Amino acid sequence: MSRTLETLAPILLVAVLLGLWETACYLTGVPAYFLPAPSAVAAAMAQDWALLLASAWKTLSTALLALAFASLIACSLALIISTNRLLEKAVQPLAVALQVTPVVAIAPQVVIWAGLAHPDRAIISLAVIVAFFPIFSGALTGLKSTDPDLERLFDLYGATPWQRLLRLRIPSATPFVLEGHKVAGGLAVIGAVVAEFVAGSGGSQGLAWRILESSNRLQTAKTFAAVIVLSLMGALLHAVLQASEQAILRRFRGR
Amino acid sequence: MSQVASLSAVEVAYPGRGTVLGPFDLALTEGEIVALVGPSGCGKSTALRLLAGLEQPTAGTVTRTPERGQTAVVFQAPTLMPWADARTNVALPLELAGMAKVKARDQAQEALRAVGLENAIGSKPAQLSGGMAMRVSLARALVTRPRLLLLDEPFAALDEITRRNLADDIHRLWDQTRPAVVFVTHNVEEAAYMAQRVVVMSANPGKIAGQTTIDAPLPRPPGFRTSEVFRNAAEAVSHDLAKAMGQIQ
pLDDT for B91-118, tens place per residue?
999 999 999 999 999 999 999 999 889 8
pLDDT for A80-100, tens place per residue?
998 888 988 898 888 888 888
C-beta of residue B12 within 8 angstroms of C-beta of residue B6: no
What sign does the dihedral A128-A130-A131-A132 (CA atoms) show?
positive
- Whether residue B68 has pLDDT greater than 80: no
- Across the interface, of B71, B77, B124, the residue whose CB is closest to A254 is B124
**A94 contact B CB<8A:** no
- Whether residue B223 has pLDDT greater than 70: yes
Report the percent of chain B where pLDDT is more than 70: 99
CB spacing of B96 vs A253 below 8 angstroms: no
Mean of the per-residue pLDDT values for chain A?
91
DSSP structure class, residue B120: G
Confidence (pLDDT) at A2 = 78
Chain A: give the shortest CA distance to residue B8, in Å.
21
Question: Where does B3-66+147-244 sit in CATH, by number?
Answer: 3.40.50.300
The predicted model gives A216-226 an average pLDDT of 94
CB spacing of B85 vs A147 below 8 angstroms: no
- Whether residue B176 has pLDDT greater than 80: yes
> Residue B7: phi, psi to the nearest 5?
-115, 120
CB spacing of B81 vs A255 below 8 angstroms: no
**Closest-approach residue (CA) in chain A for B97:** A157
- Whether residue B57 has pLDDT greater than 90: yes
Q: Give the domains, in start order, of chain A with CATH numbers.
A: 54-253 (1.10.3720.10)
Chain B: give the shortest CA distance to residue A92, in Å.
29
Beta-sheet strand order (sheet of B3-14)? B18-29, B3-14, B59-64
CB spacing of A150 vs B79 below 8 angstroms: yes
**Closest-approach residue (CA) in chain A for B50:** A156
CB spacing of A171 vs B84 below 8 angstroms: yes
pLDDT for B119-148, tens place per residue?
999 999 999 999 999 999 999 999 999 999
Confidence (pLDDT) at B13 = 92
**Rg (Cα) of chain A, in Å, rounded?**
23
**Closest-approach residue (CA) in chain A for B123:** A254
**How sure is the predictor about A201, in pLDDT bands with cuts at 50, 70 and 90?**
low
Mean of the per-residue pLDDT values for chain B?
92
The predicted model gives A21-34 an average pLDDT of 93
- Whether residue B69 has pLDDT greater than 80: no
Which ranges in chain B are annotated with CATH 3.40.50.300?
Answer: 3-66+147-244
3-state secondary structure of B156: coil
- Across the interface, of A149, A155, A254, the residue whose CB is closest to B79 is A149
- Amino acid identity, residue B229? V
**A170 contact B CB<8A:** no
Q: Cα(B53)–Cα(A153) distance, rounded to whole angstroms?
A: 11
Confidence (pLDDT) at A22 = 95
The predicted model gives A159-183 an average pLDDT of 94
CB spacing of A156 vs B71 below 8 angstroms: yes
Confidence (pLDDT) at A103 = 85
Q: Which residues contact A232 (CB under 8 A, 6 or more apart)?
A: none
CB spacing of A158 vs B68 below 8 angstroms: yes
**A174 contact B CB<8A:** yes
The predicted model gives A171-198 an average pLDDT of 92
ipTM > 0.90, yes or no: no
- Whether residue A204 has pLDDT greater than 80: no
**Rg (Cα) of chain B, in Å, rounded?**
18
- Across the interface, of B68, B69, B79, the residue whose CB is closest to A153 is B79
